[in-house]
Amino acid sequence: MSRITSFLWMILLVAWGGNACTTDVGEETQTSSSEPLRTGPKEDPLKALQQQAIPEDDLPARVAGRIAIVAEQIQQDAANGSPLWKNPTVSVEDCVLVITNEAEGQPERIVVPLAQLNVRDGFRLIPDREGNPYPGMSVKTIDEAPVIEVTWSGKTQKDNEFSIKLLTREQFEKLVPALVHAVRLCDGTLR
């Protein structure tokens, strides 16, 4: 029994570490000649992050970055076969959010001036319960002013509430903070 165990251990060690002990001199030379040695100081990760960051004074890029997360969640919903979204597009320019949708029974176009949303007092989550199979969120406008344009079947009407529904609650864990951040950037409460 001990010979079999010893034999299995030897096979395991050879299979596991056999290649670690051998090197091909030609391969090593080729690799070392094609890659320069790094002898200088390592790059500071904080500096690398700062170089990739959006400048604080670039408000359009910062808002667009937040709205990209909203767009990603809506497009993910459409890709997962949601009846709420078909070929959606999401864009933002001058702090005005525009969402288009081709899904039957849903608004074709929603135009939302982000600075006019009341995320402090007018925000609510819409639970997925009986009679409402899809979770959502809703935000009223400041002073409930009808500044949101919603187009249904080619007819545009003004509304004082912006709502989004998606397939899962988990999607709102990303969407809600991104939307609130974009609104606060647009209304000047966050700089």
Instruction: List domains and CATH numbers for the chain.
Output: 55-186 (2.30.29)
> Is there a contact between 169 and 128 (Cβ–Cβ < 8 Å)?
yes
| pTM for the structure as a whole | 0.71
- pLDDT reported for residue 48: 81
CB of 174 closer than 8 Å to CB of 65: no
pLDDT of 11: 64
With a CB cutoff of 8 Å and minimum separation 6, the contacts of 20 are none
Per-residue confidence (pLDDT) for residue 98, from 0 to 100: 97
Both tokens assigned to 102:
């081709």
Report residue 147 as tokens.
């500044």
Q: Which residues of the chain, if any, have pLDDT below 50? A: 20-23, 26-32
Q: Measured between alpha carbons, how far apart are the two ends of the chain, in Å? A: 73
pLDDT at 132: 82
pLDDT for position 120: 92
> Measured at the alpha carbon of residue 65, what is the angle toward residues 146 and 121, in degrees to the nearest 5?
35
Q: What does the pLDDT read at residue 85?
A: 95
Helix axis angle for 172-186 and 59-79, nearest 10°, is 150
Sign of the alpha-carbon dihedral angle for 92, 93, 96, 99: negative
pLDDT of residue 179: 96
**Strand duo 123-126 + 109-113: pairing:** unpaired
Q: Of 93, 98, 51, whose CA–CA distance to 186 is shortest?
A: 93
pLDDT at 29: 46
Calpha distance 191→188 (Å, rounded): 6
